[in-house]
Chain A
Amino acid sequence: MRTTVFFLVLALIIVALVLRLLRSRVLREKYALLWIVVGVTVLVLAVFPPLLHGVATALGFAVPSNLLFLLGMLLLLGVTLHLSLELSTLEDETRVLAEEAAMARLAHERLERRLERLEAATAAPSARQLSDRQHVPGKGAHAVPVAAPEGPGEGERGVRA
């Protein structure tokens, strides 16, 4: 009887914890299902101890606790597999984000350099010839390749190395 009470309390704590985490949105509900199943299973087994014994004998387990261990291991296996899957999805998503961030950054930098050049050119338009635009002073390391025009998308120069 004392063990029954112990498991009952344990099951209640698990269920209460999961619900609490869910309520405070620390745990998203798609991950919570498994844990609620765990809690409820323990709860049911705690309230009806003969159930475990009955199922174990029906399935041919000599010792009922072995069924419990098997179930426990399968459950943990399921949880880890689920987490690995979620992790793979997350990695794929961060990869896409990294690509997008890199492309946005490059586009931004190119626009900024172009703007700098335009501003420098309009600040002193009479002082320099049109063909000198590429040689605006003060750009230092930001020199833009002369051969690569701004505004990508010209299909006819479509070779990239």
Chain B
Amino acid sequence: MPAWNEEEAIADTLRELRTALPEVDVLVVDDGSEDRTVAVATEAGARVLQLPHNLGVGGAMRAGYKYARRHDYDRTIQVDADGQHDPRDILAVLDGLERADISIGARFAEKGTYEAKGPRRWAMVVLAAVISRIARTRLTDVTSGFRAGNRRAIAQYCEHYPAEYLGDTIDSLVVAVRSGLTVTQVPVEMRPRQAGTPSNNPVKAAIYLLRSFFALALAMTRRRVGADRHRWKED
């Protein structure tokens, strides 16, 4: 669970997670928060990986996957700290790993009431269409941060998980697919965030559109980084 300045929401999210799934190991990756995120998460009983400075969501995610690989986990799932993802859906998303290496908990997939408007919506639709083509499967929500992965996915993410904005979702996914990993999606319902406001500013949405296409274009031309081809030195 990547967290950056989430002291308001993270306690409830963790409590809910522990109630729903007491048997899982919870790792919070603190991305250089300046508030009490670390203290709150530790108190709530999570392991907290504290990055010494802010690396961005992608940076936090790769740190988490490296932890997972080092400690030899079979499966991982990333969940937002703001309570957007319902912990009761976690097992369903994990079940998706039966048929693919990466399983995405997706909005817009029949279930749920999530509505995005304007440029942000267009960006999501086009990105989903393009990545669906590459992955040869129907994906409706490629920017979702609700993603499960098996050992292959963990190794792949350790090799390639850009720290840049949007690299965390689009780029890592596209390169994983191009490296031969399979993807599937599981429809889930997203809830409104527990704290903080989602941005509906049209200018920001337009910038989001441009940046996401740029990230996609870059990811498409990147060299394949095979998780199987060159193994990491550690292990």
Contact = CB atoms under 8 A, between A and B. Distances in A.
Given A98-B52, A143-B43, A143-B45, A160 B59 contact: no
A147 interface: yes
Contact of B24 (A141, A143, A160): A160
A106 B50 contact: yes
Question: Number of contact residues on A: which range applies?
Answer: 20 to 34
**Chain B contact surface mostly:** mixed
B195 interface: no
Interface in A108-161: 110, 141-145, 147-148, 152-153, 155-161
Contacts of B62: 95, 99
A157 B59 CA distance: 25
Contacts of B47: 106, 110, 145, 148
A57 B90 CA distance: 73
Given A98-B55, A152-B71, A158-B75, A145 B23 contact: no
Interface stretch (B4-12, B14-22, B112-120): B14-22
B48 interface: yes
Contacts of B74: 155-156, 158-159
A99 B56 CA distance: 12
Question: Number of contact residues on B: which range applies?
Answer: 35 or more
Contacts of A101: 51-52
Contacts of A110: 47
A89 to B, nearest CB: 14
A20 interface: no
Contacts of B66: 99, 103
A96 to B, nearest CB: 9
Given A101-B52, A102-B49, A110-B47, 16 more contacts: A99-B62, A99-B63, A101-B51, A103-B67, A106-B50, A141-B42, A143-B45, A147-B23, A155-B72, A155-B74, A158-B74, A159-B23, A160-B76, A161-B26, A161-B79, A161-B87
